[in-house]
Amino acid sequence: MADDATLNTLMPGQLLGRGVCRHLASHGFACVEELVPTRGLRVDVMALGPKDEVWIVECKSSRADFMSDGKWQGYLEWCDRYFWAVDAEFPTDLLPEGTGLIIADAYDAEILTMGPETRLAPARRKVMMRKFAFHAARRLQTLRDPGAALSL
Amino acid sequence: MADDATLNTLMPGQLLGRGVCRHLASHGFACVEELVPTRGLRVDVMALGPKDEVWIVECKSSRADFMSDGKWQGYLEWCDRYFWAVDAEFPTDLLPEGTGLIIADAYDAEILTMGPETRLAPARRKVMMRKFAFHAARRLQTLRDPGAALSL
């Protein structure tokens, strides 16, 4: 089955990301994975909503994965809402106050706590929408046309 | 070779589109194919430029392909510049005044005539950027995760 073949190529965090993207798509969001908002930062999932909402979701597959992340506060200024995505076994007491929580597996996800909203300034929202559009289109082109040799 | 395998799956107009997208990418544009700006219209290539330029390129593989297109004037209001992309054998005298011209093959393309500029209103540019972003991200997700079962 194609689905299982895909599963085997993904890391634990990417499996959570897959479920997150499926769930957010069902709410009318479009998602990309591994987007770079600015040099040195790479977000696991950026989701663009039907009202141009910008959400960032960081996927943590284990306590160690979470504890080693010293960059997450740097993501807050690039989104309207910030979430963690973890599996059902994750010790959620570890997670900081004032962030959203999504419980995910490779197949679906559920928003348990909505991340508090801090609206982006219009200029930054526009920047993020452009980054999202370019990221998605370039990745798509490399999959459709592997010979295109784009610089991503 | 992966490149040749891809070629065999594409229609003549899509081969031109591939070359167009490669060329525009080299100028810093991101491209998507088969985007629907509004019900009943489907553009062959929409390109988003480094300064948020919106270009539409219609790919015509033959005289008959061009003559049967009764919709092209409907595309003009959705872009800053409009182009035809044709191969080197195409009788370019057929093409209407006031449009751009790109000569393409499956591997590359060249802009022969720049389409005249009619700047989109800001609200419509925003709509097109959002459509582009959603189109690219949804197509990308269906390729990365064939089991996602999105409605496109």
* B152 within some domain: no
Distances (CA, A) of B121 to A123, B27, B29: 17, 24, 20
Q: Enter the pTM of the model.
A: 0.93
Chain A residues inside the 8 Å CB shell of B130: 48, 52, 129
pLDDT, tens digit, 9 for 90 and up, residues B17-76? 999 999 999 999 999 999 999 999 999 999 999 999 999 999 999 999 999 988 899 999
A·B CB contacts under 8 A: 94
ipTM: 0.92
Answer with the residue of higher pLDDT: B38 or B4.
B38
Cβ contacts of A68 within 8 Å, gap of 6 or more: none
Please tell me the predicted confidence (pLDDT) of residue B36: 94
Among all chains, which residue has been given the structure tokens 């992309």?
Answer: B85
Question: What band does A6 get if pLDDT is binned at 50, 70 and 90?
Answer: confident
Which pLDDT tens digit goes with each residue over A80-122? 999 999 999 999 999 999 999 999 999 999 999 999 999 999 9
Looking at B35-121, list the stretches that DSSP marks H as alpha helix, in order from N- to C-terminal side. Answer: 63-67
Token code pair at residue A12: 């634990």
Measure the CA–CA gap between A84 and A100, rounded to whole angstroms.
Answer: 6
Backbone angles phi and psi of B59, in degrees to 5: -100, 125
- The interface residues of chain B toward chain A in range 48-67, judged by CB-CB distance below 8 A, are 48, 52
Q: Which A residues in the span 69-128 are in contact with B, Cβ-Cβ below 8 Å? A: none
Q: Is residue B2 over pLDDT 60?
A: no
For residues A60 and A86, the answer to whether their CB atoms sit within 8 Å is: yes
Mean pLDDT score across all residues of chain A = 93
Q: Helix, strand, coil proportions of chain B in percent (round to 5)?
A: 40, 25, 35
Residue B149: inside a domain: no
The predicted pLDDT at position A148 comes to 85
Q: Residues for chain A: how many in total?
A: 152
The token duo for A125 is: 């929202």
Task: Establish if B76 belongs to a structural domain.
Answer: yes
A47 within domain boundaries: yes
Whether the pLDDT of residue B12 is over 70: the answer is yes
Are A21 and B134 within 8 A, CB to CB?
no
Distance from CA of B11 to the nearest CA of A (A): 14
With respect to residue A21, please indicate whether it lies within any of the assigned structural domains. Answer: yes
Q: Is A55 helix (H, G, I), strand (E, B) or coil?
A: strand
Who among B2, B31, B146 is closest to A147 (CB)? B2
Q: How many domains does chain B have?
A: 1
Asked if residue A83 is part of any domain, the answer here is yes
Any domain includes B121: yes
Average pLDDT, chain B: 93
- Contact between B140 and A25 (Cβ < 8 Å): no
Structural domain harbouring A54: 4-144
Q: What local confidence, expressed as pLDDT, does residue A128 receive?
A: 97
**A11 at B interface, C-beta within 8 A:** no
Q: What is the DSSP secondary structure assignment for residue A30, as one 8-state letter?
A: E
pLDDT number for residue A1:
44
Both tokens of A36, joined, read 């770079």
**Residue A3 reports pLDDT greater than 70:** no
pLDDT for B3 equals 64
B47 contacts B30 by C-beta, under 8 angstroms: yes
Give the pLDDT confidence score for residue B43 in this predicted structure. 96
Residue percentage of chain B with pLDDT more than 70: 95
In the sheet with B43-48, reading across from the earlier edge strand, the strands are: B30-35, B43-48, B54-60, B81-86, B100-104, B109-113
The answer, yes or no, to whether residue B148 has pLDDT greater than 50, is: yes
Q: Coil, strand, or helix at residue A13?
A: helix
Average pLDDT value for residue range B86-115: 96
Contacts with A129 from chain B: Cβ below 8 Å: 129-130, 133
* Cβ contact B25–A130 (<8 Å): no
The pLDDT tens digits for A64-80 are 999 998 889 999 999 99
Sign of CA dihedral A139, B144, B55, A52: negative
pLDDT score for B4? 66
Q: What is the side-by-side order of every strand in the sheet holding A30-35?
A: A30-35, A43-48, A54-60, A81-86, A100-104, A109-113
Q: In which band, very low, low, confident or very high, does the pLDDT at A8 lie, cut at 50, 70 and 90?
A: confident
Q: Residue A10: what pLDDT?
A: 86
